[in-house]
Amino acid sequence: MALIVQKFGGTSVGNTDKIKAVAERVLKSHKQGNRMVVVLSAMSGETDRLIRLAKDVQKIPDQRELDMIVSTGEQVTVALFAMAVKEAGYDAVSLLGDQVRILTSNLHTKARIKQIDSELISKHLDQGKVVVIAGFQGVTEAGDITTLGRGGSDTTAVALAAALKADACEIFTDVEGVYTTDPNVCKAARKINRITYDEMLELASLGAKVLDIRSVGLAKRYKVPVHVRSTFTENEGTWVVEEDKNMESMLVSGVTYSKNEARITINKVPDQPGVAAKIFLPISDAGIIVDMIIQNTRAGAMTDLTFTVLRSDYDRAMKLLREVAKEINAESVTGSEDIAKVSIVGVGMRNHSGIASTMFQILAKEGINILMISTSEIKVSCVIEEKYTELAVRALHDAFALDKDNVPSEEVI
Amino acid sequence: MALIVQKFGGTSVGNTDKIKAVAERVLKSHKQGNRMVVVLSAMSGETDRLIRLAKDVQKIPDQRELDMIVSTGEQVTVALFAMAVKEAGYDAVSLLGDQVRILTSNLHTKARIKQIDSELISKHLDQGKVVVIAGFQGVTEAGDITTLGRGGSDTTAVALAAALKADACEIFTDVEGVYTTDPNVCKAARKINRITYDEMLELASLGAKVLDIRSVGLAKRYKVPVHVRSTFTENEGTWVVEEDKNMESMLVSGVTYSKNEARITINKVPDQPGVAAKIFLPISDAGIIVDMIIQNTRAGAMTDLTFTVLRSDYDRAMKLLREVAKEINAESVTGSEDIAKVSIVGVGMRNHSGIASTMFQILAKEGINILMISTSEIKVSCVIEEKYTELAVRALHDAFALDKDNVPSEEVI
C-alpha cells in the first residue's frame, strides 16, 4: 500500500465530464489499496476569467485581493472533484490551502511554501478518504490567502508529497512524459524513462514546459520521486529521480531550445571596474531578467559585452541601454531578436570531456554559426540564428543517438 | 462618527460597473468619517451557476462540498469590491467568513451563526480601512466552510452589526423600504418610515420579502437598528427599531398577503384524545409545514379540522391525509388551492380591542367571505378566496388609512 500524490492540471479538469473521468482514474489506484492525495488546478480558462474581472475593476489589481479572487478557481474544482468521488460511491474530502495549512511567505501572487501541516490530511486518509487539495494556493501566518504563481500546482503537489513522505508524486499532463526533445520539431524524439533532478532542472530552465522548475528543485531537495505521465493513457511516463549508476551510460539526455530570447551587445565598453554594475543595475531595477552574459576583451582596454534578455523585454532594454552607453562612454548598442538558444543536457557529460566540442562540430557540419556559448556541469547552450533552430535540434538529437533507449526502464517504486 | 454596517445584495453588485458604483456610495459615508463595514452577496446569477455545476457532478450534491463551491461567489465579490475602493484611492480589505471567524453550527447549507469574533474587523477599521465581508458564509469549529441559506447575507450583516455594536445596519435593496402593502396591488401603498421588530417579523413571515425573517429576529434580540433602503436613491428608507411611544398612534402598520397556501379540511373527525397527533405526525414526518389550524366542534362528539399547507405540498398532503382519515374513521378529506391569506399587522392593535372585527366588517362590506381566521397579539390573518385578494388588500389599506403617514419620521440615529 503506497501513499501517492497525483496532480491534474486545468485541461484535465476543464469541465464536469473531465472531472468525473479523472475521478474514475484516481479511484483505480484507490481501489488497489493506495492512499490517494489529489492536487488540482482551476478549470482551464477560469483563472484567466477571474483575472479579467479583477482588471476590469482595478487596472493593476491589488495583489492580496487578486489572490483572494483567483484562489476560488481551485476551490470550485476540488469540491466538484470530491463530489464526483462520492457520486462514484467512495468517500472524499476537499481541502483548501488554509485548511491544510500550507503556510507561505507574504509575497502575494508569487508566494513560497514555508511549511505544510500533514496532520489533517493524514487523519482523512486514515478514514479511507480520497483527499482532494486545492493546488496553487496557501495561507500566510496572518491568515491571508496567497497563490504560488505560474506552475504553482506542481509545486503544491511536490511539497505535499515531501511533507507526507509520499511514495510518489505523479504529475499528469497532456503529453506522455519528458521527451529527448520537442516531438513537434524532431520526429525521432523519444520519451525518457528516467531522468535525474539536475537534468530536469536544466531542461525546465532551458525551455521544456512539462514541469515547473520550482517543483523540480523541491523534489530534488526532498528526494521526492516524480512521475510525469499522461492523463489520457495508462502508459508509464518519465520518472524524475535521484541519479543512479544506470544513468551514467547516457551522455546526453535531452536536447531543448528556446525562442523567447533576444541578444544585445554593448560595443567598446571602457574596461574599468564598476562598469558591469553600471550596466546591469538599471536593467535589473527595471525588472528585466538577463540570462547569458559574455564579455570579449578587445585590444586597448576596451571590451564588448553581450547578453540575452527575454524577447518581450527587448525594446525596453535597448532603450535603457542606449542611455547607459552614453553615460559610460561605450561606442554603441546593437541587438537582434532573431536568435534561439539550443541546449544539450545530461548528467553523463560530467565525466566525459569533449561533449561541448562534439556539439560545436555537429552544428558546424550543418553550417550553423554559434553566436554565444554557455555551459554548466551538465549542459551546454549555444545561441544561434533563429532560422536554424529546428535543423540544430534534429542534428543534435541524431548525432547523440537520443532516439535509442539506453536507460534501463525498471520500476522505481 | 458612527460605525455602520451596509449590506448589498446580488443585483446591487451584479457586474463590475455596479460594484464600482456601490463602492462610491460606501465611500460617501466613509468620507464623512464613519467606520464602514460592508457585507456583500455573490454577483446575481453566480450562486445558481455554481449550484448547476455541482448538480452536474452529483445529483444530490454533498452539502459540505456544495458550501465549499457556492461560498466562492461571495469571495469574488468582496475582493473585487475592495479593489474598487482601492482604485478610488482609499484603503480596504476583504475578509471571508473563516477569516473573520464567523463561527456557525455544522448544518451545511443552512448553518446558524453561533459567534462572531470582532477583533480582526476592529483592527482593520482602526487602520482606516473599509472592511468588506463575505455575506452568507461562516466556518465550523472544525474549520469547514458553511453557508447560512437563503437570505443569509442579511443575517450576516445584522449579526456583524450586533457583534460590533454598530450604530446601524443598512440593508440596501431594489425598493425604497418596507411598504404598508404591496405597491403592485395597491397604488396608495406608502413607504413606512419606522416599524417595530415584532411588526417586521410578522410582515416577513406573512409574505413581505424585503427582509429575511432570521435577520429580523436577530436584530430584535440584539436591538440592532436596521435601515432598509434603496441602492438606487439617497432617500431614507424604513427603520426597523424597538417600539417607542410614537408608534402607538398607529393601529395598523401594514397589510400583507400570501398566495402560497392551500386549505385542507378533514370532515367529521371522532373527537377523541390523540386524534390530532395521529393527523399531524405523518404530515410533519413528511416535511410538510402546517400554518393555520382551526377546529370546529360539531354536535355529537365529531369535529372538523381545517388547516393550511404550502400549495407546493398540497397534493402530497391530500394523499397522505386520505389514508389517515380512513385509519381514524373520519368521514372525508376536502381541500382547495384557490385561497389567499390576507393579514393586517400593527403593534397598536395590542391596546385596542375591535381591530379584528373592523377587519371582518371591511371584508364583509366588499362581499368577501372569510374562510379561516388566525390572530396574534399584533396581527389578524384571514383566509379568503384567492380571487378577492387584491380587492381585500386595497379595501383594508384604505379603511385603516394606511396611505396617511401618522408616524413621526424623525431620525433614529
Q: Which of B226, B302, B145 is nearest to A78 (CA)?
A: B145
What is the rounded distance in angstroms from the CA atom of residue B349 to the CA atom of residue B333? 36
State the pLDDT confidence band at B346, using cuts at 50, 70 and 90: confident
- Residue A101 forms contact with B (CB below 8 Å): no
Size of interface A-B (CB pairs under 8 A): 99
Q: SS3 breakdown of chain B: % helix, strand, coil, rounded to 5?
A: 40, 25, 35
State the Cα–Cα distance between residues B85 and A381, nearest whole angstrom: 49
Task: Give the closest residue to B219 by CA, choosing from B199, B248, B237, B235.
Answer: B199
The answer to whether A40 faces chain B, any CB pair under 8 Å, is no
CA distances from B80 to A58, A126, B43, B67, B284 (A): 8, 39, 11, 21, 44
The C-alpha cell of B156 is what? Answer: 450576516
Does residue A185 carry a pLDDT above 80? yes
CATH class of B3-173: alpha beta
Q: Tell me the nearest-neighbour CA distance from B65 into chain A, angstroms.
A: 5
Query: For residues A237 and B410, which has the higher predicted lDDT (pLDDT)?
Result: A237
Average pLDDT over residues A98-127: 95
Considering the entire predicted model, what is its pTM? 0.83
pLDDT band at B405 (very low <50, low <70, confident <90, very high): low
Within an 8 Å CB–CB cutoff, is residue B109 touching chain A?
Answer: no
What integer pLDDT is reported at residue B278 of this predicted model? 86
- Residues in chain A closer than 8 A to B69 (CB atoms): 75-76, 79-80
Looking at the complex, does the CB of residue A19 fall below 8 Å from at least one CB of chain B? yes
| Whether A79 contacts chain B with CB within 8 A | yes
Q: Do the Cβ atoms of B54 and A98 come within 8 Å?
A: no
Task: For A79, name the nearest residue in chain B, comparing CA atoms only.
Answer: B65
* 3-class secondary structure per residue, B34-69: CEEEEEECCCCCHHHHHHHHHHHHCCCCCHHHHHHH
- What pLDDT does A249 receive? 57
Nearest to A61 among B71, B75, B83 (CB): B83
Chain B residues with beta carbon closer than 8 angstroms to that of A62:
82-83, 86
Distance in Å, alpha carbon of A100 to nearest chain B alpha carbon:
10
pLDDT in tens, B200-245: 998 887 766 788 888 999 999 999 999 999 998 999 999 999 987 6
User: CB B143 to CB A69 under 8 A?
Assistant: no
B contacts of A54 (beta carbons < 8 Å): 79-80, 83
All residues of chain A having their beta carbon less than 8 Å from the beta carbon of residue B99 are: 143-144
Q: How near does any CA of chain B get to the CA of A87, in Å?
A: 6
Give the nearest chain A residue to B19 (CA atoms): A57
For chain B, the structural domain boundaries read 3-173
> Whose CA is closest to A215, among A364, A112, A333?
A112
What are the beta bridge partners of residue B40? B8, B134
User: Tens digits of per-residue pLDDT, B32-89?
Assistant: 999 999 999 999 999 999 999 999 999 999 999 999 999 999 999 999 999 999 999 9
- In angstroms, the CA B35 to CA B27 distance is 10
Task: Using the CB atoms, write b or e for B16-46: b if 16+ within 10 Å.
Answer: bebbbebbebbbebbeeebbbbbbbbbbbeb
Question: CA-CA distance, A268 to B227, in Å (whole number)?
Answer: 75
Residue of B nearest to A70 (CA): B76
C-alpha cell at A212: 515547473
